[in-house]
């Protein structure tokens, strides 16, 4: 549902402006405001889910849909390689508590992450 204190709920609803790259009934994709790679966008469910730790049998269909959309957008943008990241919890680097998947591409990336 809509969480009035959540930045990404407001972005998905259009209350806060963003650079949209894809939208449908279930998901919203937009450019990250502080890109960490030449390509860096975020894909979120429109319905609020706190983080990956809150995915369950009732809400997991949207996650499959998000991965379908990421594959579609990566194909359309002809991304040669890309990384999908979902930070879960503050110690893992989650700063916005609405489930989101980073899609990063356009530069070489190291592994493991810092
Ligand atoms: P996290 O740190 O939670 O994994 O990722 C949150 C991401 O949201 C960060 O990469 C940050 O740059 C991005 N972000 C934070 N506020 C805004 C905003 O107002 N607009 C957009 N487009 N991205 C944002
Ligand atoms: Zn939210």
Which residues are tagged catalytic? 100
Quick one: which H or E segment has residue 42?
strand 39-45
Which ligand places an atom closest to the C-alpha of 8? 2
* pLDDT bracket for residue 114 (50, 70, 90): confident
Q: Identify the pLDDT of residue 55.
A: 98
From the list 52, 56, 62, the residue with the least C-alpha distance to 88 is 52
Q: For atom 17 of ligand 1, which residue has the closest CA?
A: 33
Q: How far apart are CA 107 and CA 86, in angstroms?
A: 19
What is the arithmetic mean of pLDDT over 43-69? 98
Residues with CB under 5 A from ligand 2 (ion): 3, 6, 8-9, 48, 98
Mean of pLDDT over the chain: 97
Which residues are within 8 A (CB) of 37 and not within 5 positions of it... i.e. 6 or more apart? 104, 105, 106, 107, 109
What is the arithmetic mean of pLDDT over 33-37? 98
Task: Please indicate whether residue 33, judged by its CB atom, sits closer than 6 Å to ligand 1.
Answer: yes
Task: Please indicate whether residue 93, judged by its CB atom, sits closer than 6 Å to ligand 1.
Answer: yes
Q: Identify the pLDDT of residue 22.
A: 98
Q: How far apart are CA 50 and CA 10, in angstroms?
A: 14
Q: How far apart are CA 105 and CA 71, in angstroms?
A: 13
Kindly tell me if the per-residue pLDDT of 1 is higher than 90. no
Q: Identify the pLDDT of residue 67.
A: 98
Kindly tell me if the per-residue pLDDT of 102 is higher than 90. yes
Which residues are within 8 A (CB) of 32 and not within 5 positions of it... i.e. 6 or more apart? 40, 41, 42, 102
């Amino acid at each position: 549902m809509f969480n009035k204190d959540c930045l990404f709920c407001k972005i998905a609803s259009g209350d806060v402006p963003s650079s949209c790259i894809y939208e449908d009934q279930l998901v919203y994709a937009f450019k990250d405001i502080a890109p960490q790679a030449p390509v860096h966008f975020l894909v979120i469910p429109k319905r609020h889910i706190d983080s990956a730790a809150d995915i369950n049998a009732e809400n997991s269909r949207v996650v499959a849909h998000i991965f379908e959309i990421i594959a579609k957008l990566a194909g359309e943008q002809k991304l040669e390689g890309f990384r999908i990241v979902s930070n879960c919890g503050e110690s893992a680097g989650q700063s916005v508590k609405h489930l989101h998947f980073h899609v990063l591409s356009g530069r070489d990336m190291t592994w493991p992450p810092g």
